[in-house]
Structure 1
Amino acid sequence: MRTRLLVLVSSSVAAALVACGSSGEDTTSSGAGGTAATGTTTGGGGECELLPEIIDTDTAVGPGCVRLDRTTVGGATLTIAPGTTVLVEPSGYLSLGSESGSTLVARGTEDDPIVFRSAADSPAPGDWQCVYLGNGAAASELEHATFAHGGQPCAATGANPEATLVVMAPVRRIAQVTVEDSQHHGILIGPDAGVRAFEQNTFSRNGEASINVALKQVLSLGAPNTFSDADDFIEIDSKFSLEADGTWRKQAVPFRAAGFQINPDSEVTIEAGTRIELTGGSIDAFGATLNLAGTEEEPVVITSAHPEPQAGDWGCVVYSSASDLTPTIDHAVIEYGGNGQGCLGSNEPTLLWVPPSARITNSVFRHSEGTAIKASGECDTAAWCTNQFESIAAGPLECGTSSDETACP
């Protein structure tokens, strides 16, 4: 396939042209995939090529600077070279939609990263919209790239997602990428995204949670990732349930959700050091095997998202009563729940509802509005009572089908 090359002006040469009194006169060139125009940007970049409105032929740009207004890539590959700065015009976006083979390859290097930033003289969050990777963009790769000052509602799709990077395809790689100064989220990962490699990314000064991820794709988040702001978190969109098997990786900031469901027959292990904060609702693992694999140094924590937490802020963690399931809960802290909201149809006031076969060790249960542990059959009292219980309103254990509390010896 023929590749169209846009020859760009490096920022140093462009600055020299401006200093020498370049006229800034526009010229145009035509070719397959649309029209490109050269003009002067106001963002300190000198004269930079303007990306065409439509790219439908393989196109390579850089190094140097390039201007982006609103460009749609359809059935073609846009390759951005290391050392390229993309100056985005007000409300601009780059869209790769549903057409198969729509691909963005933006692989910089440590010494020559790729930068998407506002073209404004005084850049600010929300100066531009987004880079949208729709479901036709599965072959896309982003590495050693920075995205700054975006995050306006993204008009590249009718849903208007609010993030600088919007990922709706199972792209090959998002690694060593920095997203900063977004008006809303830094990156939004949709339910069908399934990013195949997501690691070593950095997030700073974003207006909302730096990552908004559909629950279906939470297992695709690799590590480590860096979050510069102490109050940052990962927001889970729990409209769809988690259907996969695998490991829920620890991140440097908490996950936050309004409860969620793990599908029956799924097997998920939550890694040591993971913190999940609930704004309400329950974690419904009915029929699934959900393992909490903490350590003494790094327990798995399930807690309230409220700034001043109290007992009953959320419901429970609920499993099936089936004895053939053996969830393992080791070195976990489960706290500030027990209001019964979403804890099956009966809304049982307990922190944890498990089958009698559950292995529960080295864990802390505290600040429950109801009991700490409920079992639909006999409790493993000898083992379960070795855990730690604090501020439990209705006693540590509730065993069998009655609502009678069972005290620990």
Structure 2
Amino acid sequence: MFASFGAIILAAAFASTACEESTEVTPNPAPDGGGNFPSTEADASAPAIDCPAPTGGPTMHKDDVEGEQVWTTAGSPHIVEYDVNVRNGAKLTIEPCAEVLVAKGKHIHVAYPGTPNIGGTLIAEGTATKPIKFGGRDGERWASIHVVAPGTARFKYVTFDGGGGGDFEDNATLNILGDGELPADPLLFVDHVTIKNSLGTGIWMQRGSNFIEGSTDLTITGSGAGESPYPIQIEEHSIDRLPVGKYTGNKIDEILLRAVGASDANGLALDATLHERGVPYHMGKTTLDYFVVGPKDGAPTATLTIEPGVVMRFEAETALKVQGSGDKPSTGAIRALGTAEKPIVFTSASASPKAGDWRGLWFGGIPSDKNKLDHVRIEYAGFDCSCILNSCSNIGTHNGAVIFTAQPGSAFITNSVFKEVDGHAVTEGFDGALVDFRPTNDFQAITGCVQTLPRVVVGACPNPKPACDGMD
């Protein structure tokens, strides 16, 4: 089961019912006096809209959808005057060119309320020339499309405008909740979908929810406020299918990644790729939000692949951890293969970054041979690891940008930069032989050792102990 804090979030939700390149992020456009963000320019190449004038609307809706129901183009606008619930096997289809206007603070729920419930389906699939629109009735702030497993929603050529007015939903326009069990639940399909002017985050994927395979072309803009300033919030089990698209023009143009493996022994359980999507990933929202790679036990190694150009900005005191302990093989691995032109950056999320902001990379157990980091930059790491590891170095703490608790088979970090580290660049805190990470890497402003000396397996440590690895 997923970590416990995800369940807490769910309960709250229902309470009311080259390696030296800069990591600075381009400032976001400031809102005007009314709190509105600048509009994006229209795409001159977009096809002309070909929608007939409605002939039978407005059509009023509330309560449960029964059986299979179609909201027609002719009956537009469709007014959601009270919450509409698509559950108990019901199916709601919204025709191309239809317009849906939701009253202030109201929702369209899919597979919720949950008792009794055997799922529900919402389909709103337009075309390039016959798009579908969701907005607020009389221009007021509506709540969300709220999808709960086992319900599903499919959106194609749809625009959502002015949502995010729900309670305990991080002011999201699309609020998607899985069942909290592995495997992750594919609940949401998007294709040429635009979310704009959401009060908070545009989409909140939580409780192990996932995008449906094939999702693409997602735009979130003009959104975000307060404690929910990001265009989208996801978890580790939805990173692999995060759609290509545009995530700019919001209060903070970063993808918030809140890992459910944070405080318990859960983690990324299946191979997944962290895609380069044009904006940084903001790692965590609290100090408990560690990104853990690898299941607890009883499963094959899970590998996190990170694409060139990805920037991961870590919240204070958080870390990227590979699951494992003692002399047992790790259950996770990281493959971060950047290039000189597009390095992969692990950095601080602070507006004024400094050495020691975050904990760094922790490799627990015997590292897998699948690990490989090339052309990466690790900076501002070295927060207190609260760990006592084995060492023959004369050191007082074991904080490091990269920490090993068992001997790696090779120096698998190459052509990389360690920069502004409070503590050691590489802490080799195990019984075994020194693995030399010096030859191809660059070390800048390291307050401790470039690398520490592990404790020897046979015999005693040198007397006196060297300050670091004895190579200086």
TM-score (norm 2): 0.70
The structure 1 segments of at least 4 consecutive aligned residues displaced by more than 6 Å after TM superposition are 342-347
* Preserved contact between residue 314 and residue 341 of structure 1 (Cα < 8 Å): no
Match of 2:187 in 1: 171
What is the aligned counterpart of 1:162 among 168, 171, 174?
A: 171
Corresponding position of 1:61: 71
Give me the whole-angstrom Cα distance separating, in 1, the residues matched to 2:203 and 2:388: 33
1:348 to 371, 383, 398: 398
Partner SS for 1:185: coil
Tell me the equivalent position of 1:3: none
Q: Which has the higher strand share?
A: 1
Aligned partner of 2:312 in structure 1 is: 276
8 A contact 1:84–1:115 mirrored in 2: yes
C-alpha deviation, 1:66, in angstroms: 1.0
Q: Larger RCO: Structure 1 or Structure 2 (Cα < 8 Å, ≥ 6 residues apart)? A: 2
CA distance in 2, matches of 1:395, 1:344: 16
Number of matched pairs = 359
Contact 1:185 1:206 in 2 (8 A): yes
In structure 2, the partner of 1:115 is 133
Q: Which residue of 1 aligns with 2:209?
A: 193
| 1:73 equivalent in alignment to 2:89 | no
List gaps (5 residues or longer) in structure 2. Answer: 1-50, 179-185, 262-266, 285-289, 296-300, 324-329, 391-396, 456-460
Question: What pairs up with 1:5-404 in 2 under 5 angstroms?
Answer: 12=53, 47-63=57-73, 64-69=76-81, 70-74=83-87, 75-97=89-111, 98=114, 99-120=117-138, 123=139, 127-138=141-152, 140-154=153-167, 160=169, 162-169=171-178, 170-171=186-187, 173-197=189-213, 198-207=215-224, 208-229=229-250, 231-240=252-261, 241-258=267-284, 259-264=290-295, 265-280=301-316, 281-286=318-323, 287=330, 288-322=332-366, 324-341=368-385, 348-354=398-404, 355-357=407-409, 358-375=411-428, 376=430, 377-381=432-436, 384-401=438-455, 404=467
Tell me which amino acid in the other structure corresponds to 2:383.
N
Give the counterpart letter for 2:177 in structure 1. M
- Structure 1 residue identity aligned to 2:218: N
* CA distance 1:86–1:342, change in 2 (3 Å): farther
Per-residue deviation, 1:323: 5.3
Q: Is the CA contact 2:59–2:79 (under 8 Å) kept in the aligned structure 1?
A: yes
Contact (CA 8 Å) 2:110, 2:119: kept in 1 or not?
no
Supply the AA of the counterpart residue of 1:61: W
Q: Deviations over 1:209-235 (max 9, x none)?
A: 111112332223132444234831111
Is 1:274–1:299's contact at 8 Å kept on the other side of the alignment? yes
Report if the CA contact (8 A) 2:240-2:274 is conserved.
Answer: yes
Distance in 2 (CA, whole Å) between partners of 1:204 and 1:235 is 15
Q: Following the alignment from structure 1 to structure 2, what is the Cα–Cα distance between the partners of residues 343 and 83?
A: 60
Q: RMSD over aligned Cα, in angstroms?
A: 2.5
Q: 1:341: how far off?
A: 3.7
User: Do 2:339 and 2:374's aligned partners in 1 also have CA atoms closer than 8 Å?
Assistant: yes
Identity of aligned residues (%): 24
The 10-residue stretch of structure 1 (165-174 or 129-138) with the greater mean CA deviation from structure 2: 165-174
1:239 offset after TM fit, Å?
Answer: 3.2
Alpha-carbon distance, 1:324 to partner: 4.9
Instruction: Quickly say closer, same or farther: Cα 1:163–1:390, change in 2 above 3 A.
Output: same
One-letter code of the match for 1:236? Answer: L
Amino acid paired to 2:362: V
How many Å separate the matches in 1 of 2:175 and 2:356? Answer: 35
Answer with 337-346 or 290-299: which moved more: 337-346
Equivalent residue of 1:216, what SS? helix
TM-superposed deviation, 1:260 = 2.0
Structure 2 CA distance for aligned equivalents of residues 388 and 230 of structure 1 = 35
Q: CA deviation at 1:206?
A: 1.0
Change (3 A) 1:407 1:226: farther
Match of 1:19 in 2: none
Q: Give distance in 2, aligned partners of 1:95 and 1:345.
A: 51
Q: CA deviation at 1:296?
A: 1.5
Letter in 2 for 1:168: L
Is 1:181–1:206's contact at 8 Å kept on the other side of the alignment? yes
For the structure 1 residues 359 and 165, does the alpha-carbon distance in structure 2 shift closer, same or farther, using more than 3 Å as the test?
Answer: same
| Aligned residue number for residue 31 of structure 1 | none
- The verdict on how the C-alpha distance between 1:374 and 1:160 changes in structure 2, with shifts beyond 3 A counting, is same
Deviation string, structure 1 residues 239-280 (Cα, Å, up to 9, x no partner): 333222121211211111233212243211111111111112
Match of 1:86, SS?
A: strand
Q: Distance in 1 between matches of 2:337 and 2:427?
A: 20
Query: What 5-or-longer segments of structure 1 have no aligned partner?
Result: 1-9, 15-37, 39-46
SS in 2 for 1:163: coil
Cα distance change on mapping 1:380 and 1:246 into 2, 3 Å:
same
| Distance across 1 between alignment mates of 2:440 and 2:156 | 48
For 1:308 and 1:386, the matched residues in 2 are separated by: 29
CA contact (8 A) 2:333 2:368 kept: no
Deviation at 1:321, TM superposition (A): 4.4
In structure 2, distance between residues paired with 1:345 and 1:399 = 11
User: Does the Cα contact within 8 Å between 2:337 and 2:344 map onto a contact in 1?
Assistant: yes
Q: Secondary structure at the match of 2:239?
A: helix
**Partner Cα distance (1:65, 1:190) in 2:** 31
Structure 1 Cα separation of the partners of residues 249 and 220 of structure 2:
6
TM-score of the two chains, using structure 1 as the length reference: 0.81
The structural deviation recorded for 1:51 is: 2.1
- Does the Cα contact within 8 Å between 2:106 and 2:166 map onto a contact in 1? no
1-structure distance, mates of 2:230, 2:192: 19
| SS in structure 2 at match of 1:220 | coil
> Shift of the alpha carbon at 1:167?
1.4
C-alpha distance after superposition, 1:346-383 (max 9, x if no partner): 983100124432411111110000111122343432x5
Kindly state the Cα deviation for residue 150 of structure 1 after the two structures are TM-superposed.
0.9
